[in-house]
Amino acid sequence: MTHSTLHQPATVAGSGLQRQLIVILDFGSQYSELIARRIRETQVYSEVISYRTTAEQLTQLAPKGIILSGGPNSVYDENAPQCDPEIWNLGIPILGVCYGMQLMVQQLGGTVERASAGEYGKAALFIDDPTDLLTNVEQATIMWMSHGDSVTKLPPGFRVLAHTDNTPMAAIAHPERKLYGVQFHPEVVHSVGGIALIRNFVYHICDCEPTWTTAAFVEEAIREVRAKVGDKRVLLALSGGVDSSTLAFLLHRAIGDQLTCMFIDQGFMRKGEPERLLKLFQEQFHIKVEYVNARDRFLAQLVGVTDPEEKRKRIGHEFIRVFEEESQRLGPFDYLAQGTLYPDVIESANTNIDPQTGERVAVKIKSHHNVGGLPENLRFKLVEPLRKLFKDEVRQVGRSLGLPEEIVQRHPFPGPGLAIRILGEVTPERLEILRDADFIVRQEINRAEMYNDFWQAFAVLLPIRTVGVMGDQRTYAYPVVLRFVTSEDGMTADWARVPYDLLERIANRIVNEVPGVNRVVYDITSKPPGTIEWE
């Protein structure tokens, strides 16, 4: 798991704290968000913004450095995305990555052409000039390549810093203008020397200081919440996950009893979780939680429903209805607190191709609401103090606020809960079976001290029955699937190589202790082609 750190998000009147900012101009790369995370690991704040941002707008942002991301296009395509050419004259250090490097070369007078042979995957980087950008980057270090085009002629004033067997100009620079380009992706985990290169750019070339710290973020977030909310009441829909729990702790520290947390128990949580959550928040940390038992209502919505999307839709709609009823009963409230994170912000302002012009344009992919999309007549103002943070940063903030490790390190859990880990119709019997099987999974991986080795580890119940034999008697019962995966961010995942003795203990306990189950299987599908969840 990546552990990045946080920065003081902005200059605040009277605070004397100055922002350090690196911006990433996004050209549609799948790695743009990852670049931002890697920058934050250096304790410098970073943001992903549109490639359409003008030089004048960049001047107003006053970044210490600019990074041009990769992208799926070729720079010589008719409708290839272009940045404002005036950015090269701002005097701000710029690093072009893959497509970003090629665009820099093209706009400044060099040449980019289709390579005779593309380069994909790991490649050894041979350093020709070890100064500046490549200081302390080891000779022949492995970097991750993914390109079919190559630079064939450098712009005036540029020189080669490094090459690979297939790419003569794998890293380039115009040191006097502080313009740099790399054909590889230093931000991905496969690039062994990538973080050293990023540190060189951030610290030595952009002259940044490590000011993005957890303590600074918490202090600033509390100040901003108090200034925005004043003496008004705030409502938070608490799920028990790390995002909403961290938000609850942060808001409680900022505004105390002006915060009301509402926990809607839809009946699809894991064994003992609702009781544990209420005890933890109310008895241990004295944060008031309004408990709403809506189990019967949600289960009634799923009678006869087998389609996974219909399940999600019905659960989401019922959540809105319950939330609306209870918020009116407990209210009035002026503000709704949401655990919106930075990836949600990026996705909501992502870019796409205009089907008529072929140009990349900003489109809103979806609205992110932790409570499923609220009706307009509730008319809350939003409080979203976590909207600048990545998931790993939220965990750090939660930990600094005193959130227990069992919540800080909690595996991702889907909003519809166990309802989408039961394939087919959700019934009380099947929920009980899956709760018990899932409980055994969590117990055993905790006993083995392997909980934090997995991105997710859970059980799935299949809506079929298989033949078995127990005690000389023929059985006809459900199979349970174990799904354990490793991942850095959930975008891709690999099946976990779990020790056989651990799998054996889990399987034996499930078959012996959970009535209605006579078979346990293990899913060895990676993502892609599969998904982590089964529905």
Q: Give 333-373 as a DSSP string.
A: -SEEE----HHHHHHHT-EEE-TTT--EEE-------TTSS
The Cβ-side half-sphere exposure at 164, using a 13 Å CA radius, reads 25
Measured CA to CA, the distance from residue 10 to residue 1 in angstroms comes to 27
CA distance readout (Å), 447 to 177, 470, 523: 57, 27, 22
Q: Which residue has the tokens 């519809």?
A: 416
Measured CA to CA, the distance from residue 308 to residue 463 in angstroms comes to 13
CA-based max dimension of the chain: 83
Spell out a b/e string for 378-391, using b for 16 or more CB atoms within 10 Å of the CB, else e: bebeebbbbebbbb
Alpha helices in 238-307 (DSSP H): 242-255, 273-278, 295-301
Neighbours of 469 (CB within 10 A): 9
Question: Which residues touch 165 (CB under 8 Å, ≥6 apart)?
Answer: 123, 124
Beta carbons of 343 and 491 less than 8 angstroms apart: no
Q: Give 442-508 as a DSSP string.
A: HHHHHHTT-GGG-SEEEEEE-S--EEEEETTEEEEEEEEEEEEEE-SSSSSBEE----HHHHHHHHH
Question: Which residues touch 179 (CB under 8 Å, ≥6 apart)?
Answer: 88, 93, 94, 96, 104, 108, 158, 173
Catalytic residue list: 98, 185, 187
